[in-house]
Amino acid sequence: MKHILYFFTALLLHSTAAGAPPNILFLLADDMRPDCIAALGNDKIETPNLDRLVERGMTFTRATCSYPICVVSRSEMLTGRHGWENGVMGFRGNKFQPDITYWAEALRDGGYETWHVGKWHVSGRPSTRGYSDVAGLFGSGGGSFWKDQTDWKGFPITGYRGWIFQTDDGKTKFPKMGVGVTRDISEKFADAAISLIEKNPEAPWFCHVNFTAPHDPLFIPPGLEGKYENENMPLPGNYLSVHPFDHGNFDGRDEALLPWPRTREAVQDLLRVYYSVVDDMDAQIGRILDAVEKSGELDNTIVIFTSDHGMGCGSHGLRGKQNMYEHTINVPFVAAGPGIKKGARTDAQIYLRELYPTTCELAGVKTPASVTATSFAPVLRSEAKSHQENIYGYFTDSQRMIRTGDGWKLAYYPQIDRWQLFDLNTDPLEQNDLSSSGDPAHLKRKNALKVQLEAWRKDTGDPLLSDR
């Protein structure tokens, strides 16, 4: 029956698409900086499986998350809408607006099997957001099984407290698989993804795998003890012990994970464990890719690897996300598969929420009317070199940002009326704020970007403007 249904759906929706619709394997890291893939220039970390993906596909060096916390970034991806448009904005509202067609719903309605694996961090359940099957679902609700835990350095855990593996309806919990993040959790997510891929259905599939790595709490994964040493961990080029001003999150949860000031030793020790967790996730991604290959579907599968946002890890004196700097607003982003050029790099500016219409286009599935994001499939097909002229970022009421295609960035901190202007072409690490340099050319640039940022905020309905 399933195949008959698929046949008719396929006739309706794929009649103009060339060849069989591709499977889509979406691998999402959690809080991973964009500079943690060996093949992209980090010789202190080992990521052989992501390296192979880089060789097989296209790397985006300016893929961005728009809003650097988990829930908002993921909600943008699932809806193909900006947070101010979908209702989940991390402040002043965290409820999806009605009449939204979700990413997996669109693909399911287009004839796809839609699978969810791993962390569930948005409202509803996978089955109410369009996923036809789940495995290794990890979500909140295990409080009664929770026992106090500390991370690798003995710090009491604040992230994923009482999260637990469970069924889609949340009624059955699996405490034996661990409560909260465990040392081998990436392996469990990979096991679950493999169990779905091995079903090898006739219909094309969309497999959405949400890892928790390398989000805190951090522990050295099994088998990696001693692999990374503190003294070999280079400090980020823009390391500072303290951020020069309160960017609006000094008292946030993430920033409490590392004492102020951030010492060199503490940052090195953090990176040692953070790299270990990325290394382990890479190995688990390798296992998932092996399973796709074994199923005979690798050549017809689009593999996308990215993260929901980046992370401070000592850059600019910040431990956490919740900032507009490149290490955090940017994400690692690699896509490989049919029609995508091998070993390609692009600096085209894209948003994570654009994955939704992009995958619909690649799958030959109609993009629903509720989606406002734009497909960057032309870039993936090497038909276009650029995409978004400007990228805009936001965080609560405290940060707004514009980054232009020619490499200028203006950040605004409304609560303290402070500006930062960076020329990313000459200052990619954002160490030289030009906003009050006294150079008339910089002032002219700043004013031009201010006008564009203000216009964007007005057009998209920045809730902060309604306070005026």
Q: Nearest distance from residue 121's CB to Ca ion, in Å?
A: 8
Rounded distance, CA 157 to CA 148, Å? 8
31, 35, 113, 279: which one contacts Ca ion (CB under 5 A)?
31
* DSSP string for residues in 262-288: --HHHHHHHHHHHHHHHHHHHHHHHHH
Pick between residue 248 and residue 310 the one whose CB is nearest to Ca ion: 310
For 116, residues 6+ apart whose C-beta sits below 8 A from its C-beta are 104, 126, 131, 133, 134, 137, 208, 210
What residues numbered 278-337 form the site for Ca ion, per CB under 5 A?
308
* Number of shown-chain residues binding Ca ion (CB under 5 A): 4
Q: Nearest distance from residue 90's CB to Ca ion, in Å?
A: 12
Q: Which stretch binds Ca ion (CB under 5 A): 31-39, 44-52, 181-189, 368-376?
A: 31-39
* DSSP string for residues in 331-348: E-EEEESTTS-TTEEE--
Q: Nearest distance from residue 216's CB to Ca ion, in Å?
A: 10
Q: What token pair was written down for 213? A: 């790595």
For residue 179, the tally of other CB atoms under 10 A from its CB is 22
10, 28, 30, 209: which one contacts Ca ion (CB under 5 A)?
30
Query: How many Å from the N-terminal Cα to the C-terminal Cα in the chain?
Result: 58
Specify whether the CB–CB gap between 404 and 410 falls below 8 A: no
Q: How many helices (H) and strands (E) does the chain have?
A: 11, 16
CA distances from 441 to 426, 428, 438 (A): 15, 19, 9
Q: Nearest distance from residue 83's CB to Ca ion, in Å?
A: 15
Pick between residue 105 and residue 326 the one whose CB is nearest to Ca ion: 326
216 is an interface residue for Ca ion by CB under 5 A: no
Enclosing H/E stretch for 139:
strand 133-139
Angle ∠(78,80,85) on CA atoms, nearest 5 = 105
Pick between residue 70 and residue 181 the one whose CB is nearest to Ca ion: 70
Number of residues that this document lists for the chain = 468
For residue 459, the tally of other CB atoms under 10 A from its CB is 8
* Helical ranges in 350-397 per DSSP H: 355-363, 377-380
Q: Nearest distance from residue 450's CB to Ca ion, in Å?
A: 30
Specify whether the CB–CB gap between 112 and 363 falls below 8 A: yes
Q: Nearest distance from residue 231's CB to Ca ion, in Å?
A: 29
Rounded distance, CA 291 to CA 198, Å? 7
Dihedral sign for Cα atoms in the order 352, 353, 359, 362: negative
Q: Nearest distance from residue 30's CB to Ca ion, in Å?
A: 4
Pick between residue 90 and residue 178 the one whose CB is nearest to Ca ion: 90
Q: Nearest distance from residue 77's CB to Ca ion, in Å?
A: 12
Pick between residue 160 and residue 356 the one whose CB is nearest to Ca ion: 160
When CB distances to Ca ion are compared, the closest residue is: 70
Pick between residue 38 and residue 70 the one whose CB is nearest to Ca ion: 70
User: For residue 195, how many C-alpha atoms fall within 13 Å in the half-sphere facing its CB?
Assistant: 14
Q: Nearest distance from residue 69's CB to Ca ion, in Å?
A: 7
Amino acid letter, residue 380: L
Pick between residue 28 and residue 336 the one whose CB is nearest to Ca ion: 28
Pick between residue 248 and residue 320 the one whose CB is nearest to Ca ion: 320
Pick between residue 32 and residue 203 the one whose CB is nearest to Ca ion: 32
**Maximum Cα–Cα distance across the chain:** 71
Q: Nearest distance from residue 94's CB to Ca ion, in Å?
A: 15
Pick between residue 211 and residue 275 the one whose CB is nearest to Ca ion: 211
String of contacts with Ca ion for each residue 45-74, x by CB under 5 A: -------------------------x----
Specify whether the CB–CB gap between 234 and 44 falls below 8 A: yes
Enclosing H/E stretch for 429:
none
Pick between residue 322 and residue 398 the one whose CB is nearest to Ca ion: 322
Q: Nearest distance from residue 274's CB to Ca ion, in Å?
A: 13
- Interaction site with Ca ion (CB under 5 A): 30-31, 70, 308
